[in-house]
Amino acid sequence: RMSGIATQTEQLVRKISNKKTKLYATRKTAPGLRYFDKEAVEIGGGTR
């Protein structure tokens, strides 16, 4: 799960050419997995 989230995040971050634009994790996560989902987004280059 985390690997997939990190990979998708990295792909989206690469598509964003504007360096001022940031990709944020949303509050909508699976029950009990919020910490892991947000960690995966951060690993992929996103922002909490």
DSSP string, the chain: -HHHHHHHHHHHHHH---TT---B--S---TT-HHHHHHHHHHTT-B-
Q: Which residues of the chain have pLDDT under 50?
A: none
Query: pLDDT at position 26, please?
Result: 80
Contacts of 37 (CB under 8 A, 6+ apart): 1, 2, 5, 25, 29, 30
Query: pLDDT at position 5, please?
Result: 94
Query: pLDDT at position 46, please?
Result: 93
Tokens 């992929």, residue located: 44
Query: pLDDT at position 37, please?
Result: 94
Output the pTM of the full model. 0.84
Domain coordinates in residue numbering, the chain: 2-43
